[in-house]
Structure 1
Amino acid sequence: MLSARGPVVSDSFGNADYYTTVAGDTADMVARAFGLSEAKLAEFNGLQPGAPLTSGTKLRLIPAPGPITGAKGTAVFDAKGIPISYVVAPTDTLGGITYRFGLTDEQLAEANKTSDVGERGGVYFLLAGKHLRLQKDPVDSKAGTGASVNNSFGRTIFYTTVDGDSLDSLGYTFRRSTSQLLQYNPSLPAGKHIPAGTRVRLIPGELKIDGARGSFTADAAGIPLTYTTVPGDTERQVEFRFGATDLRSANRPLTGGAGAWYDLAPSRDEFAPGQTISLDLNRPINK
């Protein structure tokens, strides 16, 4: 890819949203430098394809402002023209939203401090009237460099903070909202700064939630090992409470191939109560 010679205005993720031309620039050169077609660059800026560029021209590298198919809602822009928030419209699609604002699915999820844009079948992001964040706040460059304790599914269960960590930096790194972090860690200061050396829990763990109200065991590091089901428990909520992304693999049957050995309540997406199941891939319970 060619490198741009003029000034670039980028968003909080480093995506280039605007470019100011310098002498010698052509539309083809600028388009290729930013991974666009010349036709798209012309469309975004109301240019005639092939028209010469004037030095000092500020070019858009994302679609022109205003509704497009799949992203017909209202957006807010900062003083530099960077899109910072958006209100979802009834006919929106994730592809339309990410295209309109020059983001990836991953960046949209990070900005909103959630695991992915497909959670709950996309309903979370495509709910009409929902306000979406399109950028993240500045965080200290040292943030997120502390020690992590992961479970067997690769999920971080505990994180030890370093200087520069804040509720925002933890939220962007581990996809947890501020309210979740404070709920999981009642002693955590409500302000943005968190003292270095603070051990932060990133899953509900000891906090009982709807659909996962039973008791559990943990190892010396605090990593959950087993869980005993109670009435009303569901696979999804138990997985969420303990960061166990694949309970079925941790509870493989000795015979019968796929699935899990544990029992679900008849005609319902709930566990039969009183079962002790594994929360650790490395220590499966097989029956």
Structure 2
Amino acid sequence: MLLTGLAGCTYSDHPTEPAAAIQSTPAPTASSAAKPALSGETMRDSFGNVDFYTTTAGDTLAAVAKAYKLSEAKVAGFNGLQPGTPLAPGTKLRLIPDGPGPGAMGVATVDANGIPMDYTVEPDDSLAGITYRFNLTEEQLAEANKVPFAYEKGNVFFIQAGRAIPLQKNAVDSRSGAGAEVKNSFGQTVYYTTVDGDSFDSLGYKYRSTTAQILLYNPSLAADQPIPAGTKVRLIPGELKIEGAQGTFTTDANGIPLTYTTAPGDTERQVSFRFGVTDLRAANRPSKGTGGAWYEFTDLPPGELASGQTISLALDKPINNPER
């Protein structure tokens, strides 16, 4: 089976553990310098972002706006009010836009508390528009979708018209994520051994891998079955040949890829993705000078490599071509 370099099919540093589930929590008091000095209740999303605030006596639009680093005009607009409108205690204020706007004109679904859960992308939508409308950072949006980045080199990466994208994470077991990792020389986790509480979601959020990818890399697992504790899960394609990385490779005693022999049609990008390599050129630097990698290309713009070359996949075991 061939796997193309679609959204999420690339490498990244490991994200942090998933945040708590969506819940209503009291707003912090003034004793916490990093949080708003308001006493009303808040409604937070799965990342801890405050989407709604319920007022108490003495609250004003201006004070609420300042606490959440918004303009009074924006908070008023989100709630169909005029700036300066007095607020009765118990007023539930939106801190996110109410409905479509520039760059995010599609339909969203919300839960019973009004927290946006998923969104269907429309033509001409933008990453900036979507993150603004739903009070998310680009990193949070990427994590919710189990992809390393929401963009790549300035280009929108997975935001495509018609695609339904999650806006929140599912709750995961607090015991998850404590298993042993085997990393390559670039610091990327190649294997993870599961513990009680691990699931496709917990692995997906931590390592930015979709359930479909994990199943593809680990044929012994099943989507409708829990992952047993002690399972060694592969987090890179590895033995799975993918489009643009069809060659053979060697490994060390721990199964970490060491060298790779290129095949026709291989590209730097796909070879790097297949083996969790973040800097293929650094592992294949010339023995002299400060130029780029010594290996040869057949088509430079797309990064297509000449076939039959044995190159290093390990930063700590570089192959330095003596002729370069």
- TM tier, smaller: over 0.9
- After TM superposition, the structure 1 = structure 2 runs for residues 105-184 of structure 1, keeping only pairs within 5 Å, are 105-119=138-152, 122-184=155-217
**C-alpha separation in 1, matches of 2:63 and 2:226:** 44
Amino acid at match of 1:215: T
CA pair 75-192 structure 1, distance change in 2 beyond 3 A: farther
Amino acid at match of 2:112: A
The percent of aligned pairs where both chains have the same amino acid is 64
**C-alpha separation in 1, matches of 2:152 and 2:225:** 27
2:230 maps to 197
Mean alpha-carbon deviation: is it higher for 137-146 or for 183-192? 183-192
**C-alpha separation in 2, matches of 1:150 and 1:26:** 52
Mean alpha-carbon deviation: is it higher for 87-96 or for 142-151? 142-151
1:257 maps to 290
1:280 aligned onto 2:314:
yes
- After TM superposition, the structure 1 = structure 2 runs for residues 197-276 of structure 1, keeping only pairs within 5 Å, are 197-266=230-299, 269-276=303-310
**C-alpha separation in 1, matches of 2:175 and 2:93:** 33
Amino acid at match of 1:94: L
CA pair 217-252 structure 1, distance change in 2 beyond 3 A: same
Amino acid at match of 1:164: G
**C-alpha separation in 2, matches of 1:36 and 1:173:** 31
2:71 maps to 37
SS at match of 1:191: coil
1:23 maps to 57
Shift of 1:187: 1.1
Gapped runs of 5+ residues in structure 1? none
User: Could you tell me whether the CA contact under 8 Å between 1:167 and 1:192 is conserved in 2?
Assistant: no
2:96 maps to 62
**C-alpha separation in 1, matches of 2:97 and 2:47:** 17
Residue-by-residue CA offset, 1:256-282 (whole Å, 9 max, x unaligned): 423110011156632111111011111
Shift of 1:246: 1.1
- Select the structure with the greater relative contact order (CA < 8 A; seq sep ≥ 6): 2
Residue-by-residue CA offset, 1:33-72 (whole Å, 9 max, x unaligned): 22222222112112221222110000001111x2111111
Amino acid at match of 1:33: A
Shift of 1:121: 6.1
**C-alpha separation in 1, matches of 2:239 and 2:153:** 24
Amino acid at match of 1:69: P
2:113 to 58, 70, 80: 80
SS at match of 1:97: helix
